[in-house]
Amino acid sequence: MSTVPILDKFRRPLRDLRVSVTDRCNFRCPYCMPAEIYGERYQFLPRNDLLTFEEITRIVNITVGMGVKKVRITGGEPLVRQDVEKLVSMISRINGVEDLAMTTNAYLLSGMAQTLKDAGLHRITVSMDSVDDDVFQRMNGRGFGTAKVMNGIDSAKRAGFNPIKINAVVQKGINDHTLVDLAKWCRDNGHIPRFIEYMDVGTLNEWKLDEVLPAGEIVRIIGEKLPVEKLDPAYVGEVARRYRYLDDKGEFGVISSVTEPFCGDCTRLRLSPEGRIVTCLFAETGIDLREPMRNGATDEQVLDIIQGTWRVREDRYSEERTTMNEGRRKVEMYHIGG
């Protein structure tokens, strides 16, 4: 099987695979899964439609042959997928996977952190939009407080996941007044926050540009209280712009998909729970791998599908946002991970 890196139309290689293991989540964050739409009667994917762990592992193994080195397990909320630690163990044994991470809301993490570490998970990123209990309850759409999430983060730290990255989506007028508090809490606990501009992922969150707090403003707000200087990227294609506190007590990052797009360095492919490969977070659709695999496709045939999809990739939505939004119906973020 080929091990030659495949380049897309803009000569971007494939390096990162994001695997969404479920479309279900125990939160209902309005910017991702608004409760009025994803209520008790909402029909999520039937279990038989989900890729099995063996099918996921097979796809990971094939993409490693194309140059994938980093794999991230996402959702939905990946910890609601039964026995997800078994998938972690299977992927961790694939030769060539140099970095295996998971993004979680950490609500279920306290009882699973050590198990995930033992299974071979390298890193954990936690989605937590505020340390203010009232703000957090509003933003997760379920009224859940921060205590259980923080317990999960503490458990992960004890298990050896260090540092832990904390992702916070920033919405103007919603949680922007709590940015400094989150930054300080992360500093005190050895975590790295990453503040993410509110993005127009999907079509159901009623995104509005005037609710975006620009990355530059985020840096200014934090820098006024905690002086910082800019850091160089840790690796080619890193999406977060990094800033170091001048007192050497850690760092934070900002992800500026709206105001300062980084499409030119994007090396990510996403795999949906039902087996569709998606070449952009803002894509309208994906290419099915599940049916060919279940109909007997060989590894070489699956590889051909993935290679063919990547070679013609020319996604740069964030750079073209203003001309592409008219009537566009995008894949929802909960379905393919952030």
Q: Would the pTM count as exceeding 0.75? A: yes
User: How far is residue 207 from each of residues 36, 103, 129, 171, measured CA to CA in Å?
Assistant: 15, 23, 17, 10
Report whether 204 contacts 330 (CB < 8 A).
no
Mean pLDDT, residues 20-41: 89
Q: Determine the Cα–Cα distance for residues 78 and 160; give it in Å rounded to an integer.
A: 20
Return the SS3 of 140: helix
Beginning with the edge strand found earlier in the chain, give each strand of the sheet holding 276-278 in spatial order.
Answer: 228-230, 241-245, 251-255, 192-197, 165-170, 123-127, 99-104, 70-74, 16-20, 268-271, 276-278, 287-288
- Which residue in the block uniquely carries the two structure tokens 């592409």? 324
Kindly state the DSSP code that residue 61 receives in the 8-state scheme.
H
User: Tell me: the pLDDT tens digits for 53-101?
Assistant: 999 999 999 999 999 999 999 999 999 999 999 999 999 999 999 999 9
Q: Which residues pair with 278 in a beta bridge?
A: 270
Report whether 96 contacts 64 (CB < 8 A).
yes
N residues, the chain? 338
Percentage of residues in the chain having pLDDT higher than 90: 74
Identify the band that residue 263 occupies on the pLDDT scale cut at 50, 70 and 90: confident
User: Tell me: the pLDDT tens digits for 291-337?
Assistant: 999 999 999 999 999 999 999 998 765 545 544 445 545 456 556 66
Q: Return the structure tokens found at 65.
A: 């042959």
Return the SS3 of 244: strand
Q: What is the pLDDT of residue 324?
A: 47
User: How far is residue 247 from each of residues 12, 230, 244, 254, 267, measured CA to CA in Å?
Assistant: 37, 13, 8, 19, 34
Domain architecture of the chain: domains with CATH: 16-336 (3.20.20.70)
- Among 193, 194, 196, 177, smallest CA distance to 185 is for 193
Residue 102 main-chain phi, psi, to 5 deg? -140, 140
Kindly state the DSSP code that residue 176 receives in the 8-state scheme.
G
Report whether 99 contacts 71 (CB < 8 A).
yes
Q: Which amino acid is at 96?
A: G
Higher-confidence residue of 133 and 208: namely 133
Mean pLDDT (the chain) is: 90
User: Tell me: the pLDDT tens digits for 109-134?
Assistant: 999 999 999 999 999 999 999 999 99
Q: Which residues contact 253 (CB under 8 A, 6 or more apart)?
A: 192, 193, 194, 195, 240, 241, 242, 243
* Torsion sign (Cα): 310, 312, 318, 324: negative
124, containing H or E segment:
strand 123-127
Residue 221 main-chain phi, psi, to 5 deg? -60, -45
Question: Exposed, middle or buried: residue 69 (CB in 10 Å: 0-12, 13-18, 19+)?
Answer: middle
